[in-house]
Chains A and B, each alone.
Chain A
């Protein structure tokens, strides 16, 4: 019997004296989409950044049974733990192709691996193949999100953390992005999805947590939470997507 892929216990993250994440417990099972929904400022992005090793945190955290406290952000990437951050963090002055090649940086010595990954990403996102010579900063919002996800997929990660992939995108593109997220899960990638767009997130996720002012207030199967009156009242009420 194997444990969860990612397990967070009593995680605290603070900016100076202000605690943005207060005692979070999260279990993420392999091959599933787990989502964290909540309002702007609830601490979702802070939680993801800390989990990815970009912010200092307190508590216990394990990935594949290994202690995350002793892993740098770069160590995590080498072990297939990849974050696509809210701001995309693309290399704007570099061509799409170079952005993608750098996505496979940790596997750079295996040329066959890199070529196959590139083929597979171009197959999933044909638009990126068309724009391969274009600088990343000249892409549209939707294309940038595709590039950010495509770049993360280049190293063929086991766990993908997606921070607000729908942010700033038109509703039809949001649906497209989230369909692809589901496709990734079907290929065996485990996903931790953070979303403000609660309805869209609950549609694709298997399991969900609701975050409010630094704490998880609700947890359960995504389909249950989608019909939970408290969730509907607070997070789904005014949402039109």
Chain B
């Protein structure tokens, strides 16, 4: 292996790792706040890619109907629950958050779909359409089970993935798409190596978003409230932090990250309605390295997985997936030794 090839593989690995990093941060965030391993986040990333591709070919993306349908159902579910609990005063607020807000990007999407609009507006509308997906999926499928065990939540999350992928097939069709790159051209590196500008963009965006993520959780009181919910659920409730709102915030951020993942990856990989699963699965390896709890270790793990994948596809392309998922085994063994006693939040022990 020459220096040139190593450098190319490294750049390739870093840009793939950047994608896994963004998706992995979403995994850790949602899991730590809700105990859900949110497998459908990969599907959400794929839907972002398919939505942008539809806009670019002047078609109405299926995600508009998908989001509108989920918004109506989620709004009905929320209002029914509120009325049953005698909290009629909160109904207008529920209608605003579950129906009105998600329908705004749907309207914008319908308006711009058949027109020649700037690329930035298409990307913004795509992100707007994808943002509510996590929250709506949660409200419709996982929220009613919020108190179930982690295992049940995991099983349901996998079932939701298959359901969502099936709906994706109806909404987007079976064809694969590639979007036009956001940045064209090549960037020269020392040693006469050229790398696509899109790959540089992926790394820069991942770095910037990691920084935003770090500042949000380190500095803002909302970020701290999310960490508090992850750290001690009962303690957070006793401070007046509502777990269902913390969960909604977590799903919103995870959906935003998934939207960015889908938009960044679509110009370099052909995306199908079910392509998200593999992205999500590989990103989850990074999150598992981080113990589903540590953001910095997840970041390092994700970048490692990206580089490993790029190296594996060069030296043993047939075994690429096997090599990546094999990493999970030593990590789990190491984790099982390093595991410490869980937080003392269990209310069942009280008597």
Measured in the bound complex, the distance between the Cα atoms of B232 and A88 in whole Å is 10
A219 close to chain B: CB less than 8 A:
no
B166 at the interface (CB under 8 A from A): no
Residue of A nearest to B220 (CB): A108
In the complex, the answer to whether A102 meets B224 with C-beta atoms within 8 Å is yes
A165 at the interface (CB under 8 A from B): no
A-B contact count (CB 8 A): 87
- Please tell me which stretch of B135-143, B200-208, B235-243 contacts chain A, meaning at least 4 of its Cβ atoms lie within 8 angstroms of it: B235-243
CB neighbours (8 Å) of A235 from chain B are: none
B350 in contact with A91 (CB, 8 Å): no
CA distance A221 to B241 in the complex (A): 36
**Binary CB contact string for chain B from 314 to 351 against chain A (1 if under 8 A, 0 otherwise):** 00000000000000000000000000000111011011
Question: How far is it, in angstroms, between the C-alpha of A106 and the C-alpha of B241 when the chains are bound?
Answer: 8
User: Size of chain B's interface in residues, with CB distance under 8 A?
Assistant: 25
Q: In the complex, A101 Cα to B219 Cα: how many Å?
A: 11
Q: Which of B228-261 contact A (CB under 8 A)?
A: 228, 231-232, 234-242
The answer to whether A74 touches B224, judged by C-beta atoms less than 8 angstroms apart, is no
Q: Which residues of B contact A106 (CB under 8 A)?
A: 239-240
Q: Please give, as numbers and ranges, the residues of chain B lying within 8 Å of A91 by CB-CB distance.
A: 227-228, 231-232, 235-236
Which single residue of chain B is at the shortest CB-CB distance from A89?
A: B235
Q: Does B46 contact A (CB under 8 A)?
A: no
Instruction: Using known A-B contacts A45-B350, A49-B350, A102-B224, determine if residue A155 contacts B240 with beta carbons closer than 8 Å.
Output: yes
Complex formed: what's the CA distance from A226 to B318 in Å? 79
The answer on a CB contact under 8 Å between B343 and A105 is: no
A98 to B, closest residue via Cβ: B224
Asked whether A105 and B351 contact (CB < 8 A) given A89-B232, A90-B232, A91-B228, the answer is no
Across-interface contacts of A92 in B (CB, < 8 A):
231-232, 343
B225 touches A102 (CB 8 A): yes
B350 proximity list for chain A (CB < 8 A): 45-46, 49, 55, 86
Q: Report the Cα distance A54→B345, complex, angstroms.
A: 12
B211 at the interface (CB under 8 A from A): no
The CA-CA distance from A130 to B308 in the complex, in Å, is: 45
Q: Sample 11 A-B pairs with CB under 8 A, ordered by A number.
A: A43-B351, A52-B238, A54-B234, A55-B350, A74-B237, A89-B345, A92-B231, A101-B224, A102-B221, A102-B236, A105-B240
